[in-house]
Each structure stands twice: as structure tokens, then as C-alpha cells.
Amino acid sequence: MKTSYNDFILWYLTNCFSKSGDGYEDDLLIIQANSYVYVHQELAGKTIPEYIKEHYENGTLNSLMQIKHDYVSDFITSSDHYRSRQPEWTSAFKVQIKSELLTQMINNCAIDKWVDIENLFYSSLKKALTVENQNKDRDVKDLNKSIAFIIEELRVYLANLGHCKERIDEYRILMKEAIRPSEIVERPPLTPDDLLGTVPNNTLILNFNYTDTVEQYLSDDSNVKVNYIHGKLNENENPMIFGFGDELDAEYSKFELDRTKELFKYIKSFWYFKTSNYHDLLRFIQGETFQVYILGHSCGLSDRTMLNMIFEHENCVSIKIYYYENPQEISKNNYTELTEEISRHFKDKRQMRLKIVPFDKSSCMPQISPF
């Protein structure tokens, strides 16, 4: 399923350009299509989705969105200045970006990397709080307005994806795997010898992606439970949590001393209080010895507070990475990249070296066969 932020951004831009014939505007941008002749010549027989995808694959989304290569973000407060820099309207589409956050998203949306919207949001928040900025309240409010709009668009996008019809049987096997002694270097105290090498009594799937795809791999008598830690799509009682969650960042302490209004509105820690999901996670990791499987999570800094708590917990015996494998890429897989990201969540680097399972004992993520 196309659930990456890159896929979401392409869907969003396609939707915007498709509606630009009579002029399109939302909280993030304005798009106006030129005359039929200009648009027809520009598309050259391609559909709007094909047109957007071509720009993405060619690395020219910046050009499409009329973002200057030397663009210095000034927030929405400088929109008049930005507008004055636009060239004469001889292109098929006229684009005005109203959101600093959208500009950063497009600048980082490329075929060879993943966009981390939550991290971009946090970086923009930190920039808004600089000493020189006299418009902190307004800039933070504008950023929050942008992220609120993005969350709603993301909800619509994920809801329209539907369910993945193809199942990968290997995931059922993974859920019932034993904790292998060969993947553990340092055994925690009071761990019985016969516990290791057996199937765990309980398995917790910590689901970060809002959808219920994982439930198709569960059986009625399974001891596997799912914790929708960041909320579940279209469930009011378990709302989507989207924002930033790195209280270990050196800059975060400055946030706590700042009096800017709405500063913590999209900091994840305050959203966790809306449900019992976080407490359920705590009860699980405090219960008994566990091993962590990394499946499809980038382990970026936007979840560092939580991941640090899990990885450095005394009951965590090891961290096994299921890496993404692509023989067509130079690096072949992203195992090393994931170890680098995981290392950022450890204060105690000795624990990191003890707990991460080496590559020769790791496996690639099960994937749907392309053939």
C-alpha cells in the first residue's frame, strides 16, 4: 500500500492541480490554471497524475511549484514579498504557496528519500522561536493551522486507500516466533533459562500508521494484541496523533521556558493523555522480558521519547531489524541506515551495541512478490 509521506504529498498535489481549472485554494496554497492552450501544451497528452509523477521522478517538483532554488523561507507573513518575486505568467499553472511547512515538504519530497513531515514541523517550530522573531505567536499559530490541515488531508488519503487485499503469510509466522538465545548478548537478571527459545506468552504490536491492516494477520485465539499508539483511522475515541515527540532534543527545554501560545498543541506527549494506549504500552514492557522487532518504522526522531523508553528498558533483551531490500539500489538494503537512526534513541551507547541484532542474524521485511 502507498502509505509513505511521499505518496501522500503526490496525492495531495494531484488533487490540487486537478481542481485548478476554476482556481483552487486551501490553507496551504493557491493554484490557478492558465488558458486551455497553455495547459494542453504543458501536459502534452499526460494526465494530471502522470504529470505530477513525472516531475517527482525527474526531481523537478520545486520547479512545478515555482519554488526558487535560492528560496529562504519567511513564513506566511512574507507572502506579499514572495508574490512580488513571481515571474510573468507564461506557464500553464500559477502557484502561490501560503505555508512554510508545505514549502519544506516539497523541498524534501524526492524519489531517493523519505519526507519526515513531523520532523520538518518541529524544525519550523524551532525556527519560529528564534530570538530575532517578533511574530512568534502568529508564526506558531500559522504552523499549527498548516499541520491541522495536513492531518485532515492525510486522514482522507488513508481512508481512500482502502484495505490491502494481498496477504503475506510470513507475518503470521513472525508473530509466533520464539526469542532466540543467539540474538541476545546480555540476559537480564531473574530471566529463567527456559524462557528464552520459547514462544512468548504475549506479543504486542505497536502500530504507528493509523490503519488496521495488521488485523488481517490475527486469529481469534491469538495472544497477539495491537496497540494503536498513534490513534486509529476514523475512530473518535482513538484520534490520530501527529506532531513531534522528542523531549530529549537539546532545544526542547527552551520550549518549556517559552510563553508562546499554542506551542505544545502538536507535541505528541500531550496527545497521549487522550487515551490509555501509552499506559497499556508501559504495562506491557514492565511485565516481562521482551524483544523488539522493527518492521517498517523509520525510527526517526519524531518518536524518540517513546523509542528511548522502550529500547533502554531493562526488560528489552534485543532489537531485531527487518530491513527493506532493493537489489536495484547501490546500498541494496537499509539495514545500516536503520541502525544509525536507532542509535539516536540511545543515551547509553553500550546498550545500543549489546541490543541491536547483527546483520547476519537479521532478515529482510517480507514483501508482496512483484511477479
φ, ψ of residue 172 in degrees (nearest 5): -60, -40
- Within a domain: residue 12? yes
Domain boundary among 109, 135, 161: 161
pLDDT on residue 70: 45
223-258 per-position pLDDT tens digit: 899 999 999 999 999 999 999 999 999 899 999 999
Domain boundary among 109, 139, 161: 161
Same domain, 227 and 311: yes
Answer whether residue 8 shows pLDDT above 70.
Answer: yes
Same domain, 216 and 310: yes
205-221 per-position pLDDT tens digit: 999 989 998 988 887 76
Q: Which of 249, 224, 202 has the alpha carbon at shortest distance from 345? A: 249
* Tally of domains within the chain: 2
Task: Report the Cα 83 to chain-centroid distance in Å.
Answer: 31
- Within a domain: residue 91? yes
**Residue 370 — very low, low, confident or very high, per pLDDT cuts 50/70/90?**
low
- Within a domain: residue 251? no
Same domain, 144 and 228: no
Mean pLDDT of the chain: 88
pLDDT on residue 177: 87
Domain boundary among 105, 133, 161: 161
**Residue 191 — very low, low, confident or very high, per pLDDT cuts 50/70/90?**
low
Same domain, 70 and 94: yes
Same domain, 38 and 174: no
pLDDT on residue 124: 94
Same domain, 146 and 178: no
Pairing mode of beta strands 29-33, 24-25: antiparallel
Same domain, 183 and 298: yes
Beta carbons within 8 Å of 140's beta carbon, 6+ residues apart: 125, 128, 129, 260, 261, 262, 263
pLDDT on residue 72: 41
Contact 112, 131 (CB under 8 A): no
Q: Compute the distance between CA of residue 302 and CA of residue 268 in angstroms, rounded to an integer.
A: 9
pLDDT on residue 194: 55
- Within a domain: residue 260? no
What is the mean pLDDT of the segment spanning 72-99? 60
pLDDT on residue 71: 41
**Residue 78 — very low, low, confident or very high, per pLDDT cuts 50/70/90?**
very low
What DSSP character marks residue 314? T
When comparing pLDDT for 288 and 13, which is higher? 13
Written as one string, the DSSP assignment of 217-282 is: G--TT--EEEE-TT--TT-TTS----SB--TTSTTHHHHHH---TTTTTTBHHHHGGGSSHHHHHH
Same domain, 210 and 190: yes
pLDDT on residue 84: 47
Same domain, 142 and 174: no
Host domain of residue 95: 5-161
When comparing pLDDT for 110 and 28, which is higher? 28
Same domain, 99 and 156: yes
**Residue 176 — very low, low, confident or very high, per pLDDT cuts 50/70/90?**
confident
Same domain, 29 and 80: yes
pLDDT on residue 189: 64
Same domain, 65 and 209: no
Answer whether residue 85 shows pLDDT above 80.
Answer: no
When comparing pLDDT for 75 and 98, which is higher? 98
**Residue 201 — very low, low, confident or very high, per pLDDT cuts 50/70/90?**
confident
259-316 per-position pLDDT tens digit: 999 999 999 999 999 999 999 999 999 998 999 999 999 999 999 999 999 999 999 9
- Within a domain: residue 157? yes
Q: Compute the distance between CA of residue 353 and CA of residue 351 in angstroms, rounded to an integer.
A: 5
